[in-house]
Amino acid sequence: MEREKSDEEMSFPKKPDERILKESLFLKACRRERTDRAPLWLMRQAGRFMKFYRELRAKVSLRELCRRPDLSAEVTVEAVRRLGVDAAIIFSDLLLPVEPLGFRLEYTAGEGPRIHPPLRRASDLARLKNVDVEESLGYVAAAVRRARAALPSDVPLIGFSGAPFTLAAYLIEGGGSRDFVRTKSFMHEEPRAWHRLLRRLSRTAADLLNLQIRAGAQAVQVFDTWAGCLSPDHYRRFVLPHSRALFSRLDSSVPVIHFATNAGGFLEALLEAMPRENVRRPVIGLDWRVDIAQARRRLGRAAVMGNLDPAVLLSPRANIRREAEKVFASAGARPGYIFNLGHGVLPQTPEENVRYLVDVVKEISSGKRK
């Protein structure tokens, strides 16, 4: 494979027209302004369901793909070009801070990420390293710059990071989990160490998000993928203060999306973690377990994003249309709504079904019928 060119060697186009970007459907919806139709993008819109992506992964590992700005940017932009979505999200991995923190990260086929050695005792916190994101994760910023330069001016770019709780859960479990027993046990048995850990992860995540904003991201998303394993009380006691600290450190000039799965019991707490004085344009991402109409009543000042069940994309097209129409019926016509899935596109999803969904969503939300 050809050597990656440095930023200095690249001839980037001029910066996108900020006026055009500001009036994009996605950013207007984040500001809860009226749009001609609902904007849409899809979590994991660049991934294994795409033939282009599978062919690229046959040549390079996920590790290399994430660490090469030229390839990361290419995947980011190609997903927008092939699908016709209204926003891009940088191709990356929320576990990239793991190695700078002092752990070994391994991607195993069929088993997902593995972290060695996992953090299991309070004394293990001594292994945590201070993270200089410019030095250790600068390739993420380089990918953002390249993707931003290659995207059309009316397509905003979203940066992202894992939330403190989800990062902690990965470190403690050593990977994914169904019940998160080790994480919860650590949380209750070692509360002082738990809060020390989440304070560290909060700073690292905020630094990474601000790095992406400085590089050209127009919005950022915080993924608290595993927060739904907690009770509302435990979320408020053990997680909310650290998520709030993360959001308090962010550049206040861009919209911020806060997404957690299975969090219908504490949606208000997700918004409470986003202080008004710092997060001026909050967006709450909803999974398919939440009724959008009820969520909008509960959340008030926030825009909302979601929430088609990704499994629907495995069904016939007639059903995809019906289910998309139900999502819009729940979302209503009030400004401040962004269409998305309730989680990422499943790897086995037919690529043509994803393109069909994009077309259907544009048709339904614009009020036009072919």
pLDDT cut 70: percent of the chain above it? 95
Give 63: exposed, middle or buried? Use CB within 10 Å, 0-12, 13-18, 19+.
Answer: middle
Q: What angle do CA 79, 80, 81 make, to 5 degrees?
A: 90
Q: What distances in angstroms separate CA 165 from CA 41, 135, 246, one per listed residue?
A: 25, 24, 11
The answer, yes or no, to whether residue 188 has pLDDT greater than 90, is yes
Which are the catalytic amino acids?
Answer: 44, 48, 57, 93, 170
Query: pTM for the full model?
Result: 0.94
For the chain, where are the E strands, in sequence order? Answer: 88-89, 104-108, 112-116, 157-162, 219-224, 256-260, 282-285, 303-308, 337-341
The mean predicted confidence, pLDDT, of the chain is 94
* Position 12 confidence tier, pLDDT thresholds 50, 70, 90: very low
Over residues 202-232, the pLDDT tens digits come to 999 999 999 999 999 999 999 999 999 999 9
* Position 243 confidence tier, pLDDT thresholds 50, 70, 90: very high
Residues with Cβ within 8 Å of residue 241, at least 6 apart in sequence: 195
Report the topology of domain 24-365: TIM Barrel (3.20.20)
Determine the pLDDT at residue 17: 81
3-class secondary-structure state, position 240 = helix
* Position 4 confidence tier, pLDDT thresholds 50, 70, 90: low
Q: Break the chain into its structural domains and give their ranges.
A: 24-365
Over residues 244-264, the pLDDT tens digits come to 999 999 999 999 999 999 999
The answer, yes or no, to whether residue 121 has pLDDT greater than 50, is yes
The answer, yes or no, to whether residue 9 has pLDDT greater than 80, is no
Phi, psi of 107, deg, nearest 5: -105, 115
